């Protein structure tokens, strides 16, 4: 079975049931309405505020785009890039590409024009479909991409250098094209997040995509009664692979544009969402908004919300303890994964293991996980080593990069670059990225441990710890601290708080500044190193 079979199955079994909903809070009729007031006008939402699509419509739109691509000469093995913000068209476009036997190549919506050009060349892209947010960036580079033979535009005001997706697909057949492909065939190229350097192209086959479906549904038990609220960007494996649980179970999903705390809670209430995947900053923002009184839970319908889970980054245990006080009936889960392991789930905590919050869990369904020393031998006890994983969702390779592939794929095992340890019960805890370890005076410091400690401070919203060069110690730990809105914090207060840490783990430098994160919630430490280690040390604040 290939993943497009699931879409066609759902279209046959549940043709008139809603598969996808798009919500755009910016176009909400009146954002100040309470749920009770809003429910009176829910039947007639603004056209651009809420759109929906049935399973039959989903499959038909995928077929139409597939047939459009075939008329333009796209064939099995070609690469088609997707550069869209989250929208109702995103997933039908993705599945349309797969139905031709071509490879879908999702692109980060934050890419600059130069990065779009780089990734298009790296992945041998011959077709690009993009939205209005990217017109200027695409226009700046398409003349330098002679292999980019077709450019489709989603939306109104179609630029001269592109064809209208909306107009052309209406003339294409709604019948699935007769193209054969199997689980062994290539399916998609994703790009690494760039937190450790310029993106690499990650090649996956159809077996990887089906693995993600099976793993996600097994971990979170989606049924047709569930409604998944999808907030992170669909270009990333995390959001899409969690949605694969909805695809597998034939259940509804809601694509939310925007990440305001009130917008998330309103969407859960309005659409009766049962499962929400959040990033750490969003969960923190929701709790802060509730504490401030900006969100009054009694104004919303939230009883159906059964599961909140977090991934893409280490999760502070203090955050989940705080969340459970506000939402005591919620199940909680965390999933660990990489784009190289088809997103979330190769290591999985499990809703039944709430007492192990702080761990990323154990090997996920269909996966194996080990922790090894530099020579590849297994660690002993709670010794720190590199986490490696093995399973049917491991990437085929880094596309056109055999040297980088050989560094991380060894005997079927994927070397993640994450340092980890196990407890006596076999649960795995992330310690830090291998490249982020700070060596100070011969001692290894793991920034994540220091960051988790500092986040316990009730005035700290976010924190990142990086190494700064030091003549005597080689490196010292510097803490970049983002203070909660409306609060003040001094360096002396931070230092006093850190006396609970062993002396060698205490940050030697405190910097009050914004902590940048990428769209999937990971701290952008290369950017911080560029700012604070690259000769451009920004002006620091001692209070805020």
Percent pLDDT > 70 in the chain is 90
Secondary structure (DSSP) of 235-276? TSHHHHHHHHHHHHHT-EEEEE----HHHHHHHHHHHT--EE
pLDDT above 60: residue 479: yes
For residues 361 and 348, the answer to whether their CB atoms sit within 8 Å is yes
Parse the chain into domains and list their residue ranges: 3-326, 437-533
pLDDT of residue 303: 96
**437-533: CATH number:** 3.30.300.30
Does 439 or 176 have the greater pLDDT score? 176
Return phi, psi of residue 379, to 5°.
-75, 170
pLDDT of residue 160: 96
For residues 98 and 187, the answer to whether their CB atoms sit within 8 Å is yes
Predicted structure pTM score:
0.82
Distance CA 88, CA 56 (A): 14
Band of the pLDDT at 452, cuts 50, 70, 90? confident
pLDDT above 60: residue 403: yes
Band of the pLDDT at 441, cuts 50, 70, 90? low
Of 36-45, 88-97, 112-121, highest mean pLDDT: 88-97
Through-space distance between the first and last CA atoms of the chain, rounded to whole angstroms: 56
Distance CA 517, CA 439 (A): 24
pLDDT above 60: residue 196: no
**Beta bridge pairs of residue 204:** 188
Minimum mean pLDDT range among 84-93, 265-274, 303-312: 303-312
For residues 252 and 282, the answer to whether their CB atoms sit within 8 Å is no
pLDDT of residue 37: 55
Q: What is the mean pLDDT of residues 56-72?
A: 98
Band of the pLDDT at 442, cuts 50, 70, 90? low
- Between CA 361 and CA 284, with CA 305 as vertex, the angle to 5 degrees is 65
β-strands 413-422, 428-433: how paired? antiparallel
CA distances from 444 to 330, 341, 377, 390, 415 (A): 37, 28, 20, 27, 20
Secondary structure (DSSP) of 372-423? E-TTSPBP-TT--EEEEEESTTS-SEETT-HHHHHHHEETTEEEEEEEEEE-
- Residue owning tokens 């068209």: 89
For residues 95 and 4, the answer to whether their CB atoms sit within 8 Å is yes
Does 369 or 456 have the greater pLDDT score? 369
Q: Which residues contact 99 (CB under 8 A, 6 or more apart)?
A: 4, 62, 63, 66, 176, 177, 179
pLDDT of residue 322: 92
Q: Which residues contact 328 (CB under 8 A, 6 or more apart)?
A: none
User: Which one-letter DSSP state was computed for residue 538?
Assistant: P
Count CB atoms within 10 A of the CB of residue 312.
28
β-strands 125-130, 79-83: how paired? parallel
For residues 484 and 288, the answer to whether their CB atoms sit within 8 Å is yes
* Paired tokens of 25: 């809070």
pLDDT above 80: residue 389: yes
CA distances from 63 to 68, 93, 106 (A): 9, 9, 19
Distance CA 90, CA 82 (A): 8
Distance CA 239, CA 153 (A): 23
pLDDT above 70: residue 194: no
Distance CA 114, CA 122 (A): 12
Q: What is the mean pLDDT of residues 404-433?
A: 92
Q: What is the mean pLDDT of residues 62-72?
A: 98
- Determine if residue 448 is left, alpha or beta; phi over 0 gives left, psi from -120 to 50 gives alpha, anything else beta: alpha
pLDDT of residue 313: 64
pLDDT above 70: residue 164: yes
Return the closest-CA partner of residue 426 out of 375, 378, 391: 378
For residues 238 and 312, the answer to whether their CB atoms sit within 8 Å is yes
Name the CATH architecture for the domain at 3-326.
3-Layer(aba) Sandwich (3.40)
Q: What is the mean pLDDT of residues 92-118?
A: 94
């Amino acid at each position: 079975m290939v993943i497009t079979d699931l879409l066609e199955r759902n279209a046959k079994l549940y043709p008139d049931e809603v598969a996808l909903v798009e919500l755009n809070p910016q176009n909400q009729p009146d954002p100040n309405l309470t749920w009770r007031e809003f429910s009176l006008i829910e039947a007639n939402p603004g056209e651009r505020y809420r759109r929906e699509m049935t399973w039959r419509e989903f499959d038909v739109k995928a077929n139409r785009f597939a047939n459009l691509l075939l008329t333009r000469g796209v064939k099995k093995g070609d690469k088609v890039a997707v550069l869209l913000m989250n929208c109702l068209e995103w997933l039908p476009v993705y599945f349309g590409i797969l139905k031709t036997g071509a490879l879908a190549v999702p692109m980060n919506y934050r890419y600059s024009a130069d990065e779009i050009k780089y990734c298009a060349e790296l992945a041998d892209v011959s077709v690009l479909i993009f939205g209005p947010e990217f017109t200027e960036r695409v226009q700046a580079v398409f003349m330098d991409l002679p292999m980019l033979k077709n450019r489709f535009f989603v939306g109104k005001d179609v630029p001269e250098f592109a064809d209208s997706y909306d107009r052309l697909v209406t003339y294409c057949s709604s019948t699935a094209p007769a193209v054969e492909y199997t689980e062994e065939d290539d399916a998609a190229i994703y790009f690494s997040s760039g937190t450790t350097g310029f993106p690499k192209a990650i090649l996956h086959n159809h077996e990887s995509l089906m693995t993600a479906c099976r793993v996600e549904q097994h971990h979170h038990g989606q049924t047709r009664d569930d409604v998944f609220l999808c907030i992170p960007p669909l270009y990333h494996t995390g959001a899409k692979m969690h949605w694969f649980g909805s695809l597998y179970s034939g259940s509804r999903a809601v694509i939310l544009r925007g990440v305001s705390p009130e917008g998330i809670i309103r969407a859960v209430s309005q659409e009766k969402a049962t499962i929400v995947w959040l990033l750490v900053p969003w969960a923190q923002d929701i709790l802060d908004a509730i504490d401030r009184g900006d969100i009054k839970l009694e104004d919303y319908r939230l009883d159906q919300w059964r599961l909140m889970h977090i991934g893409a980054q280490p999760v502070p245990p203090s955050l989940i303890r705080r969340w459970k006080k506000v939402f005591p009936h919620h199940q909680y889960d965390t999933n660990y994964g990489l784009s190289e392991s088809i997103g979330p789930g190769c290591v999985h905590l499990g809703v039944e293991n709430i007492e192990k919050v702080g761990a990323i869990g154990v090997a996920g369904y269909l996966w194996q996980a080990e922790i090894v020393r530099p020579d590849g031998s297994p660690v002993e006890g709670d010794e720190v080593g590199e986490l490696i994983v093995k399973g049917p969702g491991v990437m085929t390779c880094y596309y056109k990069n055999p040297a980088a592939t050989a560094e991380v794929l060894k005997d079927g095992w994927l070397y993640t670059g994450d340092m980890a340890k196990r407890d006596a019960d076999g649960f795995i805890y992330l310690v830090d990225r291998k490249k982020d370890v700070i060596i100070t005076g011969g001692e290894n410091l793991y920034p994540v441990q220091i960051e988790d400690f500092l986040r316990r401070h009730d005035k700290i919203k976010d924190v990142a710890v990086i190494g700064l060069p030091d003549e005597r110690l080689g490196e010292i730990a510097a803490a970049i601290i983002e203070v909660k809105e409306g609060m003040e914090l001094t360096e002396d207060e931070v230092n006093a708080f850190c006396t609970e840490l062993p002396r060698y783990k205490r940050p030697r430098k405190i910097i009050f500044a914004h902590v940048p994160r990428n769209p999937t919630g990971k701290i952008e430490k290369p950017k911080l190193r560029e700012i604070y280690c690259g000769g451009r040390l920004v002006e620091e604040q001692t209070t805020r």
